[in-house]
Amino acid sequence: MIARLEQIVRHMSKKSLLSNLKQQTQTLHEQGLFKQEHAITSTQGTEISVHGYLHPLLNFCANNYLGLAGNPVVISKAKQSLDAFGYGLASVRFICGTQSPHQHLEKRLSQFSGLEDTILFPSCFAANLGLFQTLFEQSDAIISDALNHASLIDGIRLCKADRYLYANNDMSELEAQLQKTQHHRYRVIVTDGVFSMDGIIANLPDICDLAEAYDALVVVDDAHGVGAIGPDGKGTPAYYGIQDRVDIVTGTLGKALGGAIGGYISGKHEVVEWLRQRSRTYLFSNSLPPMVPEVTLKALEALETDPTLMQKLSNNSQQFRQGMTQLGFNLIPGAHPIVPVMIGDAVQAKQFADGLLEQGIYVISFSFPVVPQGEARIRVQLSAAHTQNQVERAIAGFGEVGRALGVID
């Protein structure tokens, strides 16, 4: 009898969970906030084919900053790599999952970042998850910007170090936290290089000044910096000319550098070697398919040999920002190709994105919990591959939908 009751309770608990999830999902549907995934039926580019739409749509929401994801040269390189190295390795790196492209890319990324050594991960999320718990302990303090990416937040949570926050780019709060944590063994300042929802660039010079004054380490996640800002697209530390003052950089191969998958950590040789020996997301994750490092090497070559890529990206960003400002939209100021168009109300932001789809402009609305309550927005992302005409079409589409919804006059 007792065993039967326990079985009924377990069954009820499962039913309760499923019922609760179904109810919450239905609520999102009713509120117009359900995140729908659109099936793209073409390569990733400035024009994409989407299931359910008869005509191609202009894509203004990809992390494809340099336009390399569907580039014919990149695709050709991937095909060559398949012939030379195969599709996948069915192994982690330390068993039989290391090929020459992995090692070549690690060396190349170290040169690119101006740091001593680099280790590849399946993603930047995996890199951030595997970083903090490997290096830091209960006697340490990690001081994190309040707007840091979810992967940094989760990586820091996995670590046993004490955790502290400072308001976005607020150097006074950061200094107060550094003063508070002087009794800890190590103090680690953690920040995005570019904050992904706002396009705001971190104040790295002042962060490094404070780190040196209080003997702290600096960790920068530059996922949205590399290939988007800085000389030759070398990212946020290079944007400020302070590569030698940042201790650890994490980054991704899944945005500007080909847009596929993969992440990395660059830093001192000793740091990277210890991560190879102890980082769980490295040791227990399959090696990257060899075509990924091969293509990334090609992307880095393009960055350093074709200055027009970064110039086109900058020009397109300026063109869009100027046109939208003239129409009266509320933008978060900046120079990055992430351009948040602030709407405020979550339902209206979703309606706005749906209206733009009907105009042939593919963008997505962002609302809580991705951004704070009351700060819903359309996050526009420019690419070096966008033409001036495409940018103008996007501005015109925003204007038409904005007037129809009463967002602008």
CB atoms within 10 A of CB 365: 26
Question: Exactly one of 234, 255, 336, 350 is catalytic; which is it?
Answer: 255
Give the pairing of strands 376-381 and 338-344.
antiparallel
Closest Cα partner for 58 from 343, 406, 404, 388? 388
Q: Copy the structure tokens of residue 79.
A: 């095909």
Q: What b/e string do you get for 122-143 counting C-beta neighbours within 10 Å, with b at 16 or more?
A: bbbbbbbbbbbbbbbeeebbbb
Give the pairing of strands 57-59 and 47-48.
antiparallel
- Evaluated on CA atoms 102, 108, 114, 116, the torsion sign reads positive
Question: Exactly one of 196, 266, 287, 367 is catalytic; which is it?
Answer: 196
Is 113 known to be catalytic? no
Helix axes 72-85, 291-305, angle to 10 degrees: 140
Rounded CA-CA distance 209/246 in Å is 11
Closest Cα partner for 289 from 131, 61, 84? 84
Is 365 known to be catalytic? no
Is 19 known to be catalytic? no
Place of tokens 């992904």: 196
Question: Exactly one of 224, 312, 336, 350 is catalytic; which is it?
Answer: 224
Residues with Cβ within 8 Å of 81's Cβ and at least 6 positions away in sequence, in order, are 101, 290, 291, 294, 295
Tell me which residues are annotated as active site.
Answer: 196, 224, 255
